[in-house]
Structure 1
Amino acid sequence: MTWSYWRVPPFITSIFFILGVLTLYWVLYNWIVSVFHAHHIKVADDVINSWHGVLYMLVFVFSMQSLIIGQSDGWQFMNFQMIAMIFCAYFLNIHLPYYAFFPVVLIFMVFNQSLGYWESWGQAITMAVFFWTLNRSRHRYRNQKYAWVYYMGTGIGFGGLLWMWMKFKFSLPWSTYFQEWIYLTIFEALLYVYVTMLTNDSELKLRLAQFANHDALTKTQNYAAYSDEIDLLFADSHKNHLNLSMMMFDIDHFKHVNDTYGHLAGDRVLQQVAMITQTVIDENDDQVKFYRTGGEEFNVIFPGYDVESTASIVRQIFTAINHLDVKYEDQQIPISISVGVSGMVVADGGPADFYNRVDQNLYHSKRNGRMRITAN
């Protein structure tokens, strides 16, 4: 239709079709990830990417092939199928054990009515080796300067062999064979450029997000990250009647540390306090969240915890820091902290009410001798 009515060559429409299929993939993947994150479903993004990639490309390949089953031009979508496989094997880095190829290939050959063709068996074995080679190529050369050379070399070599099977099976003329092989090479190059651009853009956005949400000195999450997270956790806890508690602490007499030992010494103190706190959290529950929310002020959020349940972790952090002497140059700097802890209550109208009550407990500790915990 495109050639008849718009005078657009099929090769051009094929390029836009492939780019459209890949764009739809990324749109669906980002939507699924955002849904999982919004509902706090604990599934790694890499796992979502793998399952979504496999299912999406299987639907794509089988849907395309269903249009030409048993026809004399059943080779026409071969390039699309190979691009889908390259995308899964190289760019999504999906690993399949060798025994998983057999049921997939067998199902596809039954679906495609190809069991009786020896050329189809040769094609199936070649595709399996191609997939494995792409995995290996990514693993060994992905971060090298000339990774694209290994990628294109693998694709061109296996592409020529796979089209040779099609030539035998469908008695294609040499002109068609070389034309489709060249088309595949061009599609592979475009795929590499397109996905690399998307990946670089995603990595840049990730670095910018990390920079915006992390404290450069202590490497902990900052107040901006705290604000976003507490809004989500408060709403979720309120809606689903879940426990939510918070610990707030700051370093006693921190101004005196800066004035006495210097600001670089103060930075070292903040780094040591953050490192110890994060270590304690990691050893107990990686769902507990830690933030530097002010100069010497830190917050720890406990999703699913009531105040009593936080006691063990709070006490471990308190004890570890209060027994800490930070070494800076040839000096030992003694450190202590004051702590406030509270849990969300029904009367809290929003995160600010919750925060203020924890803050009041912290200041109760500071007004009553410091180096103590106030919890209610």
Structure 2
Amino acid sequence: MTWSHWQVPPFTTSVFFVLGVLTLYWVTYNWLISWTHTRRINVTDETVNTWYGLIYMIVFVFSMQFLITGKSDAWQFMNFELIAVTFCAYFINIRISYYLLFPIGIVFMAFNGTLGAWQSWAHSLTLMGFFIVLSTIHTKFQGRRLVPFYYFMTIMSFGGLLWFWMKLKFGFTWPTLLHEWAYLMIFEALLYMYVSMISHDSQIKLQLAKYASHDALTKTSNFAAYTEDIEYLFNRSSQNGQALSMMMFDIDHFKHINDTYGHSIGDLVLRQVASTVQDVLTANDASIKFYRTGGEEFNILFPNYDVAATKPIVDEIFSAINHLEIPTKDDVITLSISVGVSAITTDDKAPMDFYNRVDRNLYQSKRHGRMRITVG
């Protein structure tokens, strides 16, 4: 920003303005993600990131440009536009087809009334290359030691070329070009540090959320996740009449396995069972939800399934686990499971009513010799 527009030191104003715009993006984006999760809207975080990030930055850039379109100092907001491109291409890695960049550039030039200026075409094509290279660095080199070097070399190279096109178009002096180029590098360095800090905090929060809802040993969802999901699915089923079934199983004689072979083998058994069940569910229907709800107890929720519809999958899980063999140092452990299955009914007034009925069916399987399925 410039002294003429703000009447305050431009660099200081620019820093706070850029950080404010980016902070507003993160706050609104996180609210939007939380909103979609709460309402269980069938849209991925990546899709929200792509479209919201693109719309947010386009509105930001066009709003800034609207203030100076057609003026002799229209170049003075370009660093903000470059920061917006950097943010979209590198930091939030918006995944749009590269051929869509060209029409966006055409619209922007038409908005500025510069379609007839060859420097504007050179600037737009360079800007597209800038976006593509930054996106490639994020995708191909993320996590490598030299990625900050690639980032800053890209900013320096493309930034210098982009400001050169602006010098040719507007005729400002070389010292002005160098001044704005240096400002760009400082802004991009601050952006890199700021977003890296925010991203680090976000990753920690994601890890904590994952630990809160997942079982560390088997990598399945845990009882806390089950409680949240059954509440939502039960209410949805009660209100809309949608089918909902549950399978509950535990590993037969698991205490004996732990006592005989040790807890390390017991943990191996749990991991193998969970992996086998997850493979079956993935091959059948990704919407089916799998949980470890106790020591050797597991629950599976079947949204939109009645009991008859669950039978092929339940039978496949039952057969797969009953054929599992776990080798030990001196022996081979042959596994079996006992299973209870039921569907929600109009008599169920709360999720616990549903759970208890499935649990009773599991108990019946164990009472009558184990390694069997009880449906009711």
- What TM-score results when the alignment is normalised by the length of structure 2? 0.94
1:280 & 1:121 partners in 2: Cα distance?
Answer: 54
1:165 & 1:259 partners in 2: Cα distance?
Answer: 76
- Which deviates more, 263-272 or 107-116? 263-272
Please state how far the C-alpha of 1:98 moved relative to its aligned partner: 4.2
Provide structure 1 residue ranges, at least 5 long, that are not aligned to the other structure. none
Q: Is the 8 A contact 1:61 1:81 kept in 2?
A: yes
Q: Which amino acid aligns with 1:326?
A: I
Please state how far the C-alpha of 1:16 moved relative to its aligned partner: 1.3
* Alpha carbons of structure 1 residues 95 and 266: separation in structure 2 relative to 1, 3 Å: closer
* Alpha carbons of structure 1 residues 320 and 161: separation in structure 2 relative to 1, 3 Å: same
Residue 175 of structure 2 is aligned to residue 175 of structure 1: yes
The answer for the alignment partner of 2:343 in structure 1 is 343
The answer for the alignment partner of 1:255 in structure 2 is 255
- Which deviates more, 350-359 or 204-213? 204-213
Please state how far the C-alpha of 1:232 moved relative to its aligned partner: 2.1
Aligned runs of 1:260-299 on 2, under 5 Å?
A: 260-299=260-299
The answer for the alignment partner of 2:363 in structure 1 is 363
- Which deviates more, 185-194 or 324-333? 324-333
Please state how far the C-alpha of 1:2 moved relative to its aligned partner: 11
1:149 & 1:271 partners in 2: Cα distance?
Answer: 42
The answer for the alignment partner of 1:164 in structure 2 is 164
Deviations 1:215-246, CA, capped at 9 Å, x for gaps: 22222221122122222222232233221111
Residue 328 of structure 2 is aligned to residue 328 of structure 1: yes
Q: How many residue pairs end up in the alignment?
A: 376
Deviations 1:199-218, CA, capped at 9 Å, x for gaps: 11111112222222222222
Q: Which amino acid aligns with 1:164?
A: F
Deviations 1:284-321, CA, capped at 9 Å, x for gaps: 11111111111111101111111221111111111111
1:27 & 1:192 partners in 2: Cα distance?
Answer: 18
The answer for the alignment partner of 1:128 in structure 2 is 128
Aligned runs of 1:201-220 on 2, under 5 Å?
A: 201-220=201-220
The answer for the alignment partner of 2:240 in structure 1 is 240
1:329 & 1:164 partners in 2: Cα distance?
Answer: 71
Tell me, what secondary structure is at the counterpart of 1:71?
A: coil
2:174 & 2:264 partners in 1: Cα distance?
Answer: 73
Q: Which amino acid aligns with 1:323?
A: H
1:2 & 1:169 partners in 2: Cα distance?
Answer: 19
Residue 53 of structure 2 is aligned to residue 53 of structure 1: yes
1:215 & 1:309 partners in 2: Cα distance?
Answer: 28
Provide structure 2 residue ranges, at least 5 long, that are not aligned to the other structure. none
The answer for the alignment partner of 1:80 in structure 2 is 80
Please state how far the C-alpha of 1:249 moved relative to its aligned partner: 0.6
Q: Structure 1 residue runs of 4+, over 6 Å off?
A: 1-4
State the identity as a percent.
58
Q: Is the 8 A contact 1:268 1:328 kept in 2?
A: no
Please state how far the C-alpha of 1:96 moved relative to its aligned partner: 4.2
Please state how far the C-alpha of 1:348 moved relative to its aligned partner: 2.0
1:347 & 1:240 partners in 2: Cα distance?
Answer: 15
Alignment RMSD (CA, Å): 2.1
* Alpha carbons of structure 1 residues 210 and 96: separation in structure 2 relative to 1, 3 Å: closer
Q: Is the 8 A contact 1:326 1:332 kept in 2?
A: yes
Q: Which amino acid aligns with 2:41?
A: I
The answer for the alignment partner of 2:22 in structure 1 is 22
Q: Which amino acid aligns with 1:299?
A: N
Q: Which amino acid aligns with 1:228?
A: E
2:330 & 2:201 partners in 1: Cα distance?
Answer: 46
Q: Is the 8 A contact 1:215 1:222 kept in 2?
A: yes
